[in-house]
Amino acid sequence: MLARMMATRSISVSLEEALLADLDAHSANRSAAVSEAISLWLRHRRLAALQQAYADLSRLQGGDLNQAHSDALEMGAAALGELNG
């Protein structure tokens, strides 16, 4: 997989001492580890939102369920593309 070259920006983050010690024990690059963790967290949030949207669609009654199904497929494909992107 090709790494994307993106602009970076320095920020300040406060962590509990134990969490920082654990981070340092498992990674020589704090910035990379924090970036990876945030990326994974955001993917998890997007997936949770997608799952909630599917759950909401499954409770639809009446109306145009075929259109809702089509919309759900499009939404799912877009979300998966973004997660993999």
User: Tokens 């979300």 identify what position?
Assistant: 79
61 vs 29 pLDDT, higher one: 29
CB 47 within 8 A of CB 62: no
Question: pLDDT for 13-52, tens place per residue?
Answer: 999 999 999 999 999 999 999 999 999 999 999 988 888 8
DSSP per-residue codes, 16-59? -HHHHHHHHHH-S-HHHHHHHHHHHHHHHHHHHHHHHHHHHHHT
Specify the pTM: 0.62
